[in-house]
Structure 1
Amino acid sequence: MGFFDALFGRTKIPEGKTDQLFALSTALLDIQTRLSSTFAGKAAIILRTVDNSSYDALERDVQQILTLGGKDMPVTAEHIDDNQGYRWIIFTGKDPEDVINALHLTADMLKEAGYGDSLLAAMFAFDPPWYLIYTYRRAAFYPFVPKLSHTRDSAREFRIAQTLKPYMPIEKDPERWYALWDPPF
């Protein structure tokens, strides 16, 4: 932050940190064995909606890279705007490593294009139903286990966090384990 920013009370939103995403790759075996869960084939990047032509071109570039990946990275991407004003880039693929790589590549492309401060979170779906959420600004993961009628299974969230803590950065403050209700995937 510069002198004038401090003087006038402006703050700069920090760019999202993408490097810790690969910690999920090392934790996948423990998720399967210790948590009896499997990757559900879906993940998403959640970002603030951006409306301009350069962002639209970036979305086309992401689609083109994933299409060119073909057999090497069989992952598809879909772009959805939700009713809360957020953009979701939803990745679908059978191999969790491919999905993580596609998601990381897309997040890096967004950062390089100047949209790093728009990156909010990444969300990974597991079966039986629960989610692992990565917050870009804090570079940490946390579990989210929704139940019916917008309630959470907090006890299960804490068990998941304790199980994964040795393998990946877990958000230390449970007050920051924000619920992402009704993801569009």
Structure 2
Amino acid sequence: MGLLDVILGRSRAARPDLDRLFGVPGAAITLQAGAGFAPAGSGSVCFAGVEGGAFARLRTEVRELLAADGPDGSGTPAGSDGSGPGWPGGAPAGGGVVAEFEQDAYGYTWLPLRRPPDDLVSLVNDVHAVNTLLEEAGFGPQLLCSLFAFREESGERVLSLVYLYKRGTFYPFAPVPGAEERRDNALELSVRALLAEELRMESDLSRWFPVWGAPGLPPPAQRAIP
């Protein structure tokens, strides 16, 4: 069963509710206090089945949306040239850098987004805005998931909170550092319990799909879509 089948499922799904994304900053506070994981400053949106002219138009609209994300409409945050400390991997997509779409080994398209780690609220707003744009442009059926990456403050582990668009639910994904496609199931279950009061967590464990290759994790290298 592929990613699309797992995420879409064959049963009636909850109506998408993108406003649930706004619960992530509060959940991040609980995650940091209770498990020692802090925002990594990266997130992404994943979708499938957009090609040709439709994809070209979509890419242009997304770039214009993110380029406008700045106090002066330039996409550059006030007091920053996008290259100073606090910008993981360079300036964020909404901070003067053109957003680049990437493709994973399964053919799904990802849009990585970056913000300073201490600006999770803006990252959530970026992810929400991109999802909304795709939804309003008629690409809702192609939307699969969004994720937010976190890093352990006193160790090497990383995890992501994954939002399933068509389910309206979240689940944690935690790869084992240095291991090829192995998950830290104990950590994932503990994070689910920790955030049960903060986010609508996905109760069906079969839908906790491993998002190997997603931005913000230690996956195989991704190739940019031409």
Q: TM-score range by the shorter chain?
A: 0.7 to 0.9
The AA in structure 1 aligned to 2:51 is D
Larger deviation, residues 76-85 vs 112-121: 76-85
Query: Which of the numbers 147, 152, 164 marks the counterpart of 2:195?
Result: 164
Deviation at 1:54, TM superposition (A): 3.1
Contact 2:169–2:201 (CA under 8 A) maintained in structure 1: yes
Match of residue 168 from structure 2: 139
How many residue pairs were aligned? Answer: 175
Contact 1:120–1:135 (CA under 8 A) maintained in structure 2: yes
Structure 2 residues not aligned, in runs of 5+ = 1-12, 78-91, 94-98, 153-157, 217-226
Deviations 1:56-106 (A, max 9, x none): 222212212221222477540321122311000110111111111011011
**What fraction of aligned residue pairs are identical, expressed as a percent?**
31
Alignment of 1:80 with 2:111, yes or no, is no
Q: TM-score with structure 2 length normalisation?
A: 0.71
Match of residue 173 from structure 1: 204
Paired residue secondary structure (2:180): helix
Please identify which structure carries the higher strand content: 1
Give RMSD over aligned pairs. 2.2
Structure 2 Cα separation of the partners of residues 167 and 16 of structure 1: 18
Contact 1:15–1:119 (CA under 8 A) maintained in structure 2: no
Contact 2:18–2:128 (CA under 8 A) maintained in structure 1: yes
Runs of 4+ in 1 over 2 A off after TM superposition: 13-17, 70-75
Match of residue 151 from structure 2: 127
Paired residue secondary structure (2:199): coil
Structure 1 residues not aligned, in runs of 5+ = 1-12
Q: TM-score with structure 1 length normalisation?
A: 0.86
Alignment of 1:153 with 2:184, yes or no, is yes
Match of residue 4 from structure 1: none
Query: Which of the numbers 88, 107, 110 marks the counterpart of 2:131?
Result: 107
Paired residue secondary structure (1:78): coil
Please identify which structure carries the higher helix content: 1
Structure 1 Cα separation of the partners of residues 194 and 105 of structure 2: 34
